[in-house]
Structure 1
Amino acid sequence: MLYKREYGKEQPYIPLGIFKVRLPIIHYKWEWSEFFQAILMCATCLGAIPVLTEVLGVSNDIAWSMVIINGILYVLHSLLGDPVVPGWITPSIPLTIAFLSNYIIGVERTQALVALQLEVGIIFLIFGITGMASKVITNVPRSLKAGILLGAGIASIFGEFKEGGRFGIYPIAVTAGILLAYFLLFSHRFRALRKKNKFIDKLGSFGMLPAVALAIIIGPLVGELPIPNIEIGTFIKLPDIAGIIKTLSPFSIGFPSLSVFIQAVPMAVMAYIIAFGDFVTSESLVNESNNSRQDELIDFNANRSNLVSAVRNLIQGLFSPYTQLSGPLWAAVTASISQRYKDGKKAMDSLVGGMGTFRWTTMLAVATIPIVTLVQPVLPVALSLTLLVQGYICTRLAMDICETETDKGIAGVMGTVIVAKSAAWGLAVGIIMYVLLSGRKTVKAEEKVESSISEIDKKSLLK
């Protein structure tokens, strides 16, 4: 039986402390557009396979099994009331790989990853349990929030276009895919066309799906990607849990030494600083969705998101350490679903329904052999597209957050330092600039603006 939402209220749920348990079909409608989008977008999730095999030296079968387990853990967010699509701590991946390269591939490197992921999980846990996460999100100045978002956005785009980036390897497929993705997701002209044509409106309801499909078609035609070799024999891939535990779990290979845990601390802190940008992005996207419609109240709680992210990282650190780590947000897809949600209740009944449908579907898709073999050739291009869309979203949100000229200047410098040096350097520079440039009058003016915006938001929700 489907529980119906009262106008202006939250989607029904089963209360469980800070968590809000929701099951698909029972607590929210199944959104078919997100279902079909997830089938092809699972290619990005599967993009972890070549990284895992190269960095950890595991077999393709073990890496695929690790992706399936990661997909199961993704579902925890929508299951426990987090209204976003979770993902990796994507910008930290090159930093994580650089950290792991200091250790010999095999047991030594795996133990270093175990130490890192367990520490990241503990940081998430501390911020979630103490309630510090929500306080930090609320009290961090706009200029610093914008700087974090700007740094994450520029890093995502720069990584694809720099020497050795995926754009140089798949220029035609990436160009065609990203132009279509930008047009479908962000073009005002396309939104106007959707109102006039039913086919175009339907096309727009599938988010990034058409862009990935176009890359699958164009890539082989121009010789940048191989033709998919779809396997239709065995239908479901069962993860080799015993093999993963034997190869990677600290219960089998031994726990890292104290010195390795100490060496991993700076990288763990940087990973959380980067993930903090995802919380800022999540809050911004949810606020935009709340302001766009009055029929549903969407509750984003940074403490809850931290706790779920902590559980994922701790489980993986103990049984299936993951080079991508477990982050609170897949910005590109969350924004894509949020964009369709803004089209009204006919387009999507509930935001949590769209987010939940997507993640339940990817959980199944990454274990479905015909789907995996279909999208396997396009894995690097799909990853490139999602990073380029994430870059657009983060830079746009960063500019929206800025209220004053000082905000813009601090954000610009801070974002650049994040890309050029590291997240830790960028945060330090941002804090110093904020203290130097934002006097008490500026702070009071910002608080007054935030108070006014908050009052407007409250009034719009009560209409």
Structure 2
Amino acid sequence: MNKKGQEHPGFKWGPFTSRLPGVHLQLKPSQHIQGALMLLATCGAVTPLVMQFFGVSFDIAWTVSLVMLFWVIAQTVIFGDPYAAGAITAGLPLTIVFMNTLTPGAEAIEGMIALFLVVIFLFLFLGITKLGETFNRFFPTAIKAGIIMGAAIAAFQSELDRLPSMPITLISAWVIVMLLMYSIPFAKLPDSKAKAIAGSNALLISFGGAGLIGWISGELTFEMSWGFFIPPVAETIATLSIWAVGLPSWEMIFTVLPIGIIIYILAFSDLLVANTLIKDADQARSDEKIDINPTRSHYILAIRNLGQLMTAGPLLWVHGPIWTGVQIFLIERYKKGRTVMDSIYSGPMNFYLLAIPLGLLMPVISFITPLFPVALSVTLLLTGFACAYVAMSMVKTNVSRGIALTIGFLTATYGAAWGMGIGIVLYLFLIGVKEENQAAKDEMNLKNEDPDSQISG
């Protein structure tokens, strides 16, 4: 337990601090099952995609997911960042677009390794030089909005393509999660314990509700298995790790460079969101000093992605700083005081702790495996919804909105290179080398001078 107003204790090593469960961090069993099931279902959602694109068995794909869970919890327990770690979810739709251009198997594996290496380099270089903010500012708001809009369009398109395979199940999941997370009428209901539980467990409820409806409709089938899952570690390393596959060609690295840059931009935006949330938590409680260090976060993200690559090979999504929904849920608990959550670091630890042990139990695996398509669909739907409203809120002028939408469609349809390339050209021609705020003023002045130029509705 930390002394009032001081940083939570742990083993310091370099810029990192390790805090062990049960030693530095209090165990809260009430959070273990809920968090573990949510993490397993969401992380496992890309397991079928790993099988599809990499041409591997379920056992290998599931082993890669379990390794990812280790690096996710390592962010808090081993390296000492206060965030509830996750993946760069907004990058997943764009990664799927890229994967669809490659031949399943060796070429797809090489492409994903190349993407990991590019992102690792960006995290390391921009962390060491502390140029992350400068790099992020280099891309005008309209272009960044277009990149985020591209993720939204790709996410929605992928789910529309998936819908015919299980329409009743997926629509049920969408309705439940959107109602609990974004419905204004639901938010206006009188506050109650049931409402709070439903809102904080929206993902789990949507998975469970859709699973029940899918089973009743016959779209989902559950077959119970017993025993333990023994990860084929040697086979996984021999099939997917960089030690066995080798380094990708320079041609592939240059091919993935635009999408790597986009994923870094998305990750930097996630870091800004994470820091805002943590600062809000820090202001709510004076009993603990929270150490926010963007440079350390860059190092951790580089290590997590490199660790994933070296221990089990690439996954379809890249390790990111925050799982936003879980982070918000944990911060709300943190604000209630030390009796509810002793430290900001104990929240992610307790939420994620049992994920790997439960992921080795065949009854759990057999129960959640049919829900993987539902989990992936809900993840992409929420990603698309959030990316869409974030992108639209970023741009303030009609020209910027048009550029953002154009970049979005090009990125989702033809890939990151086309989106970024044409987006930069459009920005230079239509806005010029100036700040977005100045462009907004110029557009407003033109409208005031020529009222007839506005489109009547």
Query: TM tier, shorter chain?
Result: 0.7 to 0.9
**What residue is the counterpart of 2:123 in the other structure?**
124
**What residue is the counterpart of 2:331 in the other structure?**
341
**What residue is the counterpart of 1:321 in the other structure?**
313
* Corresponding residue SS for 2:227: coil
- Residue 312 of structure 1, aligned match among 300, 304, 314: 304
**What residue is the counterpart of 1:279 in the other structure?**
268
Counterpart-to-counterpart distance in 2, 1:154 and 1:4: 48
Distance 1:421 1:245, change over 3 A: closer
Counterpart-to-counterpart distance in 1, 2:36 and 2:417: 34
- Residue 218 of structure 2, aligned match among 215, 220, 223: 223
**What residue is the counterpart of 2:369 in the other structure?**
376
Is the CA contact (8 Å cut-off) linking 1:128 and 1:304 kept in structure 2?
yes
* Amino acid corresponding to residue 181 of structure 2 in structure 1: L
Where do 1:104-253 residues align within 5 Å?
105=105, 110=109, 113-137=112-136, 140-161=139-160, 165-193=161-189, 195=191, 197-226=192-221, 228-234=222-228, 237-252=229-244
Deviations for 1:352-400, whole angstroms, at most 9, x for unmatched residues? 5444443434334333322211111111111101110111222222233
* Corresponding residue SS for 2:189: helix
* Amino acid corresponding to residue 158 of structure 1 in structure 2: Q
Structure 2, unaligned stretches of length 5 or more?
A: 441-457
- Residue 64 of structure 1, aligned match among 32, 37, 62: 62
TM superposition score normalised by structure 1: 0.79
* Amino acid corresponding to residue 90 of structure 1 in structure 2: L
* Amino acid corresponding to residue 295 of structure 1 in structure 2: A
Using the TM superposition, give the Cα deviation of residue 176 of structure 1 relative to its aligned residue in structure 2, in angstroms: 1.1
Using the TM superposition, give the Cα deviation of residue 342 of structure 1 relative to its aligned residue in structure 2, in angstroms: 4.8
* Amino acid corresponding to residue 230 of structure 1 in structure 2: M
**What residue is the counterpart of 1:387 in the other structure?**
380
Distance 1:360 1:445, change over 3 A: farther
Moved more, 18-27 or 63-72: 18-27
* Corresponding residue SS for 1:47: helix
Using the TM superposition, give the Cα deviation of residue 211 of structure 1 relative to its aligned residue in structure 2, in angstroms: 0.6
Establish whether residue 47 from structure 1 lines up as the match of residue 45 from structure 2: yes
**What residue is the counterpart of 1:362 in the other structure?**
355
- Residue 270 of structure 1, aligned match among 259, 262, 269: 259
Distance 1:425 1:305, change over 3 A: farther
Counterpart-to-counterpart distance in 1, 2:114 and 2:134: 27
Using the TM superposition, give the Cα deviation of residue 172 of structure 1 relative to its aligned residue in structure 2, in angstroms: 1.2
Is the CA contact (8 Å cut-off) linking 1:87 and 1:328 kept in structure 2?
yes
Counterpart-to-counterpart distance in 2, 1:136 and 1:299: 24
Using the TM superposition, give the Cα deviation of residue 160 of structure 1 relative to its aligned residue in structure 2, in angstroms: 0.6
Counterpart-to-counterpart distance in 1, 2:281 and 2:390: 16
Is the CA contact (8 Å cut-off) linking 1:114 and 1:317 kept in structure 2?
yes
Q: Pairwise CA RMSD of aligned residues? A: 3.5
**What residue is the counterpart of 2:87 in the other structure?**
87
Distance 1:402 1:113, change over 3 A: closer
Is the CA contact (8 Å cut-off) linking 1:183 and 1:190 kept in structure 2?
yes
Distance 1:249 1:412, change over 3 A: closer
TM superposition score normalised by structure 2: 0.80
* Corresponding residue SS for 2:202: coil
Counterpart-to-counterpart distance in 1, 2:60 and 2:49: 12
Counterpart-to-counterpart distance in 1, 2:51 and 2:367: 20
Counterpart-to-counterpart distance in 1, 2:49 and 2:157: 19
Deviations for 1:15-64, whole angstroms, at most 9, x for unmatched residues? 54444544445347748457504414412322333233333333322222
Counterpart-to-counterpart distance in 2, 1:63 and 1:398: 33
Counterpart-to-counterpart distance in 2, 1:34 and 1:191: 27
Distance 1:96 1:140, change over 3 A: closer
**What residue is the counterpart of 1:419 in the other structure?**
412
Distance 1:386 1:312, change over 3 A: same
**What residue is the counterpart of 1:98 in the other structure?**
100
Counterpart-to-counterpart distance in 1, 2:4 and 2:380: 34
Distance 1:32 1:3, change over 3 A: farther
Counterpart-to-counterpart distance in 2, 1:438 and 1:299: 40
Distance 1:100 1:16, change over 3 A: farther
Counterpart-to-counterpart distance in 2, 1:111 and 1:441: 39
Using the TM superposition, give the Cα deviation of residue 215 of structure 1 relative to its aligned residue in structure 2, in angstroms: 1.3
Is the CA contact (8 Å cut-off) linking 2:150 and 2:412 kept in structure 1?
yes
Distance 1:441 1:170, change over 3 A: closer
**What residue is the counterpart of 2:452 in the other structure?**
none
**What residue is the counterpart of 2:2 in the other structure?**
3
Is the CA contact (8 Å cut-off) linking 1:173 and 1:215 kept in structure 2?
yes
Distance 1:214 1:274, change over 3 A: same
Counterpart-to-counterpart distance in 1, 2:291 and 2:406: 32
* Amino acid corresponding to residue 264 of structure 1 in structure 2: I
**What residue is the counterpart of 1:449 in the other structure?**
none
* Amino acid corresponding to residue 283 of structure 1 in structure 2: L
Identity of aligned residues (%): 27
**What residue is the counterpart of 1:78 in the other structure?**
76
Using the TM superposition, give the Cα deviation of residue 14 of structure 1 relative to its aligned residue in structure 2, in angstroms: 5.4
* Amino acid corresponding to residue 271 of structure 1 in structure 2: G
**What residue is the counterpart of 1:457 in the other structure?**
none
Counterpart-to-counterpart distance in 2, 1:86 and 1:50: 19
